[in-house]
Amino acid sequence: MKINPEMMRLYAVTDRHWLGGKTLVQQVEEALKGGVTCVQLREKNLDEESFLKEAIALKEVCHAYHVPLLINDNIEIALKSGADGVHIGQNDMPVEQARNLLGEDKIIGVTAKTVEQALDAQNHGADYLGSGAMFASSTKTDAIRIDYQTFREICQAVRIPVVAIGGITKENISQISGLGMDGIAVITAIFSAEDIQQACQELRVLSEQIVCDIKK
């Protein structure tokens, strides 16, 4: 699957902490109905069998909405489930190794916090970058914030799409307008919402606005 910037506009990263009696599939479908353009399945504590079943179920619902499903860190689950790709961090396997395992038709996203990391990821075959944290995050309490100038320089340095992540909400998104990103990745502001579909509709409009502001 070839990636395009529009695919990155509103990128949902799952978090089962907020399930609240619903299944993850139900929550993701609500997000898809609200306009999410990409979904990343992130599981840190699930056994492999359950992880695989969940990935297969989410792939089916994502593909019903013509939206790609990416798996956080786990290449094997991505391959077995037929997901569209993976997102890997700086401490995971090298991009070229992931590409060799996944093949040319899968999406590989890489976390980048510096221009050097961003260029290295692009030069070794990454399809997009995730960069942050833009704000303090309740999901990753140890995440170090990136200054806006560094983020802008990352966006300017690479040809591939860049997604801003980390504590982004509808209340603070205007603060990162004009920095050059192609979209936003959101966890808590989506999955903790009482009405996930409505939250996504609002975030999608706002994400389109900040990207349009950049291109003016």
pLDDT tens track for 37-78: 999 999 988 999 999 999 999 999 999 999 999 999 999 999
Closest CA to 166 of 158, 175, 157: 175
Burial of 64 (0-12, 13-18, 19+ CB in 10 A): exposed
Q: pLDDT-derived band of residue 211, with 50, 70 and 90 as boundaries?
A: confident
The whole-model pTM stands at 0.95
CATH superfamily, region 5-215: Aldolase class I (3.20.20.70)
Closest CA to 147 of 163, 161, 158, 131: 131
Domain definitions of the chain by residue range: 5-215
